[in-house]
């Protein structure tokens, strides 16, 4: 009797696992379909010369035709807006469509995944700001330390002066 019960339970677990795999595959296919449709909606909006979508056009999709897709993906409007702000590292109010859709895909994970993505984008933003400050120091402060008026030099001349090349 125990052997029959063990075989029955084993078969039940096996079929349950297969059923779970089928359900997950179907769910993933549906999510990919929604993401593909969102990507098409974003690409139908006016894009700039670099293929970036502006915040106002993205919001039109979020509150218009795309609202159904976000709801189906389980992503709320404030989260979608926050993702845009995270991806807009340079504060240009634009992001690449593919980068945004890829970010939406990562939002489907657990809290730790979302937290890690947030930290990654915040570090990108911080790196961009540090690079801007570094460029400012190279262009303005270094020539002043060398005794040259930075307004009289171009960026190239300032870099040459910093590297020890005489002008």
Work out the number of other CB atoms within 10 angstroms of the CB of residue 158.
Answer: 22
Phi, psi of 94 (to 5 degrees): -140, 150
| Cβ-contact 109, 148 below 8 angstroms | no
Give pLDDT tens digits for 85-109: 888 888 889 999 888 888 887 776 5
Give me the residue label for tokens 């895909």. 105
Taking the model in full, what pTM does it have? 0.58
| Cβ-contact 75, 82 below 8 angstroms | no
| pLDDT for the residue 167 | 45
4-8, 65-69, 115-119: least confidently modelled range = 4-8
| Cβ-contact 136, 66 below 8 angstroms | no
- Cα 118 from Cα 38, distance rounded (Å): 22
State the average pLDDT over residues 9-32. 68
Give pLDDT tens digits for 119-164: 777 888 888 888 888 888 888 777 777 777 766 665 555 455 555 5
Helix axes 77-87, 97-107, angle to 10 degrees: 130
DSSP state for residue 92 in the 8-state scheme: S
């Amino acid at each position: 009797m125990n052997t029959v019960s063990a075989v029955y339970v084993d078969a039940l677990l096996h079929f349950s696992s297969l059923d779970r795999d089928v359900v997950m595959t179907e769910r993933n296919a549906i999510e990919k379909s929604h993401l593909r449709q969102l990507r098409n909606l974003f690409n139908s909006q006016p894009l700039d010369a670099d293929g970036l979508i502006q915040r106002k056009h993205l919001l039109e999709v979020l509150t218009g035709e795309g609202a159904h897709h976000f709801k189906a993906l389980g992503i709320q409007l404030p989260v979608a807006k926050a993702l845009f702000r995270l991806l807009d590292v340079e504060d240009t109010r634009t992001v690449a469509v593919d980068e945004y859709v890829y970010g939406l895909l990562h939002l489907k994970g657990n809290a730790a995944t979302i937290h890690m993505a947030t930290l990654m984008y915040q570090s990108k933003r911080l790196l961009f700001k540090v690079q801007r400050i570094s460029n400012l120091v190279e262009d303005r402060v270094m020539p002043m330390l060398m005794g040259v008026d930075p307004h009289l030099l171009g960026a190239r001349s300032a870099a040459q002066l910093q590297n020890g090349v005489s002008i």
